[in-house]
Amino acid sequence: MDYSREDEILIDEAWSDLATSCSKICKSEDDWNFIKRAFFLAKEAHQGVRRRSGEPYLLHPIAVAKIVIEEIGLGVKSVVAALLHDVVEDTDYTVEDIERIFGQKIASMVDGLTKMSGVFNADTSAQAEYFRKVLLTLSHDVRVILIKIADRLHNMRTLGHMPKDKQIKITGETIHLFAPLAYRLGLYPIKSELEDLCMKYRFPEEYAEIQQKIEETEPERQQYINKFCAPIHAILKQNNIDYELSARVKSVYSIWSKMQRKQIPFEEIYDLFAIRIVFKPLPFPSEKTQCWQIYSSITDIYTPKPDRLRDWISMPKANGYEALHSTVMGNDGIWVEVQIRTQRMEEIADHGFAAHWKYKQAAQSEDAFDNWLGKIRDALSGSTENAVEFLDNFKLSLYTSEITVFTPKGEQRKLPFGATALDFAYDIHTKIGNKAIGAKINHKIEPVTKQINSGDQIEIITADNASPKPEWIDIVVTTKAKQAIASYLKREREDNISHGLTLFEEKLAQFNITLSGSVLRKVMQAYGCKYKDELYSKIGAGIISLDNIEKVIKSSSASKILKFWKLWRDSGKNTPSNMDDNIEPLATGQDDKFTIASCCNPLPGDSVVGFKDPTTGRIIVHKSTCHELNRLASLFGKNIIKDQIRWSQHKAVSYLSTIEIRGIDRMGLLLEISRVVSEDFSINIREVSIRSHDGIFEGNLSIYVQDADALHALMDKFRQIKGIESVKRGVEHKE
């Protein structure tokens, strides 16, 4: 079906708007004709197709192409790829057709932007495989990732037309992968908008409430900003600096995250805004020196907070971000963050990779951003995990804070906060990590598992007979280290399986026993192995001895051995046998079995979302704010339950909940807390833990409650007690 006259008008207006943007990047008539050819092919391919909103589908690739130019700063080839990004996926055109018309480079970019199709492994998420394919394009052309982020940004801007379950899936993908990717690629404005849009659709009431409060406090805030900035304006003009000064309010999502993390109301968020100074540097002295001169001028006016100084000029972030951040004491005792950067640094902060590439020739030293891309390429090419494991590990490298450490010769290395000496070893080289037995940190011998800090100088001690240990995987934090250890252990296990099978067959031959299914089952039961590979691996590694194999096989008590082993294995577990009975208060109108998610432990009354486990078929109930739910939605979006999960009221079930309390210690405080719990609320206390030091007390109360309302009412009562500074909800457990 062709588009209507009204549709054609909308398309012409969008195309005209894009053409205006294209004038910034087209250096010749050939460039302009290249873009026009892509537009007309996309228009023909998507003819008559509409988005869920009812508008012509062609408006979507046009919008993505405009984001690519205006908000990311890419060039002609990227615009062409953006216009064509859905042609292969949604129409009869093939990658070969695109290559014939537009060349190999455009075809490669479009192919990278096309969703995977076909058969996937049963244990692998199709979404995870798709994301993995997109990430693999980093090995060839990072522009594909940037176009994909632009595509996601426009989809998020128009998400209101999608049903609720699709919104949960798409916001889960966005907050779990695309927002962190935008952050890592230096696209701060896009990262913030993606986060805000996720919150707008997932938690609309909270979003609207914070937005309203930001607007209501704007006049008072602006009055304070004007007063704070007046002396800064004066001193910068006095020093003849060409600058722009602005105040940036925190994003709604950032404010909400802090409120959630610290469990405080909006009124207690005191760093709602930051002052940004962007200046045009002089040819001499260096940009770095001029930034420090401005910093010095400001600290002549306001007192700085030493532990809040962030020097990302001397050592830029891995995504290329450069700036000098300082927090100073402003008027009326209020701390204010001041950001100082040049126009070049500002463009890199807004446009990330594209601007970084533009200024790359000016860089005098090896660039941290290129180093990071190199590490990602290494991680991608060396990955041996399935797609879900790969993405989980890759995610770890996106949002983490960074530290800078040094080799014995003074070479800088950037690692995520929380990294160990072992991560450092693998960062140097996989062979060094595999042979590591210890480390000299600041010339002092330490275990290779010790966490390192920014500024440490590290030397790795190796031994030829050393090898990775299975527990290392849970100790290291970098993707490269995890993959290297997993790869080594996998090879070792395969060798053990082969060796173990040989030993097993040789031992059976000594007693003239033929290897059969029944023999194998008896031996597996006797030694508590679920799979034959597990049995062979343990034999090959020397964990299982075959000295008594004849007795084991010929004995009729193999089942007794299995029973004993199971009792021993399960002796440390506290999982109740009637677990299903405790989750009957949940209902959806279906007969599915429910399980409370252990990662967030929702209480009745909490906003919850259901996720159908692809392995067991059970519905796992998560709090709607749960980070693990976002991860699952990003990997298994089709398993999000469409119908809203509801708490039933017909059965009273007690839930063990934890409350964390902090405040000023005084005589009788614990007695007053206990009285509120037992007398005012008639709630049973299971355990109380109080620690007092230097006049400050911190305590945890484990109590039984029926729902979230009862818990919140109790917490509100605690807040009224004299001396209580903060009351937070801890990790809950269902009884």
Asked if residue 575 has pLDDT above 60, the reply is no
Q: What is the pLDDT of residue 191?
A: 93
pLDDT at 433: 94
pLDDT for position 390:
60
Q: Where is pLDDT greater, at 529 or 578?
A: 529
- Give the model's confidence band at 385: pLDDT under 50 very low, under 70 low, under 90 confident, else very high: low
Is 90 exceeded by the pLDDT of residue 208? yes
Looking at residue 588, what is its pLDDT? 40
Q: What share of the chain is helix, strand, coil (3-state, %, to 5)?
A: 55, 15, 30
**Does the annotation count 90 as an active-site position?**
yes
Q: Kindly tell me the sign of the dihedral angle through the C-alpha atoms of 244, 250, 251, 252.
A: negative
- Residue 98: per-residue pLDDT: 92
Mean pLDDT calculated for residue range 315-326: 85
Question: Is residue 733 predicted with pLDDT exceeding 80?
Answer: no
Lowest mean pLDDT among 88-97, 193-202, 554-563, 657-666: 554-563
pLDDT tens for 659-674 read 888 888 777 777 888 7
User: Residue 393's pLDDT is what?
Assistant: 59
The catalytic position among 55, 90, 350, 698 is 90
Least confident of 136-145, 380-389, 429-438: 380-389
Q: Which of 442-446, 512-516, 534-538, 570-574 has the highest mean pLDDT?
A: 442-446
436-441 and 412-416: which strand pairing? Answer: unpaired
pLDDT at 399 over 70: no
Evaluated on CA atoms 405, 410, 412, 413, the torsion sign reads negative
Query: Could you identify the residue written with the tokens 């801007």?
Result: 157
CA quadruple 274, 275, 281, 285: dihedral sign: negative
Residue 128 has what pLDDT?
62
Structural domains of the chain ordered from first start: 5-202 (1.10.3210.10), 209-361 (3.30.460.10), 368-484 (3.10.20.30), 487-570 (no CATH), 579-647 (no CATH), 655-734 (3.30.70.260)
Predicted pLDDT of residue 584: 41
pLDDT above 60 for 125: no
| Residue 35: predicted pLDDT | 95
CB atoms within 10 A of CB 673: 22
Determine how β-strand 696-705 pairs with β-strand 733-734.
unpaired
Q: Which residues pair with 724 in a beta bridge?
A: 663
Tens of pLDDT, residue by residue over 522-544, are: 788 777 777 788 888 888 877 78
Q: Are the beta carbons of 642 and 612 closer than 8 angstroms?
A: no
Q: Quick check: 362 pLDDT over 60? A: no
What is the per-residue pLDDT for 701? Answer: 84
Please give the average per-residue pLDDT across 54-78, as a whole number: 92
Residue type, 714: L
Specify the pLDDT at position 358: 63
Q: How far apart are CA 547 and CA 533, in angstroms?
A: 20
Task: Indicate whether 364 pLDDT > 60.
Answer: no
Cβ-contact 479, 396 below 8 angstroms: yes
* Contact (Cβ atoms closer than 8 angstroms) between residue 342 and residue 292: no
pLDDT confidence of residue 574: 37
Q: What pLDDT band is residue 167 in, cutting at 50, 70 and 90?
A: confident
Q: What is the 3-state secondary structure (H, E, C) of 602-625?
A: CCCCCCEEEEECCCCCCEEEEECC
Averaged pLDDT score across all residues of the chain? 80
pLDDT at 471 over 50: yes
With 60 as the cut, is the pLDDT of residue 711 above it? Answer: yes
In this structure, are strands 655-664 and 619-623 parallel, antiparallel, or unpaired?
Answer: unpaired
Q: What is the mean pLDDT of residues 6-17?
A: 91
Give CA separation, 518 vs 522, 544, 648, in Å: 6, 19, 49
Residues 6+ apart with CB under 8 A from 77: 105, 106, 109, 143
Side-chain half-sphere CA neighbours of 243 within 13 A: 24
Name the token pair of 356. 């970084």
Is the Cβ–Cβ distance between 504 and 539 less than 8 Å?
yes
Regarding predicted confidence, which is higher, 659 or 515?
Answer: 659
Of 67-81, 94-108, 349-363, 578-592, least confident by mean pLDDT is 578-592
Least confident of 219-233, 486-500, 561-575: 561-575
Among the listed residues 12, 44, 89, 268, the single catalytic one is 89
Please determine, for residue 275, whether its predicted confidence score (pLDDT) is greater than 90: yes
Q: Is 46 helix (H, G, I), strand (E, B) or coil?
A: coil
| Eight-class DSSP state of 162 | S
Calculate mean pLDDT across residues 595-606: 80
- Residue labelled with tokens 């907050």: 175
Lowest mean pLDDT among 466-480, 494-508, 586-600: 586-600
pLDDT of residue 178: 86
Q: Which residue has the higher pLDDT, 715 or 642?
A: 715
Alpha-carbon gap, residue 16 to 385, rounded angstroms: 46
**What percentage of the chain has pLDDT greater than the value 70?**
81
Using the predicted structure, report yes or no on whether residue 398 has a pLDDT greater than 70: no
Q: How confident is the model at residue 568 (pLDDT cuts 50, 70, 90)?
A: very low
Of residues 22 and 367, which shows the higher confidence score? 22
Least confident among 334-343, 481-490, 632-641: 632-641
Task: Label the pairing between strands 273-279 and 303-304.
Answer: unpaired
Assign 386 a pLDDT band (cuts: 50, 70, 90).
low
pLDDT band at 561 (very low <50, low <70, confident <90, very high): very low
Q: Residue 512: CB partners within 8 Å, gap ≥ 6?
A: none
Q: Report residue 701: phi and psi, to 5°.
A: -115, 125
pTM: 0.68
For 255, other C-beta atoms within 10 Å of its C-beta total 20
Q: Has 89 been annotated as catalytic? A: yes
pLDDT band at 578 (very low <50, low <70, confident <90, very high): very low
- pLDDT category of residue 129 using cuts at 50, 70 and 90: low
Write phi, then psi, for 123 (nearest 5 degrees).
Answer: -95, 15
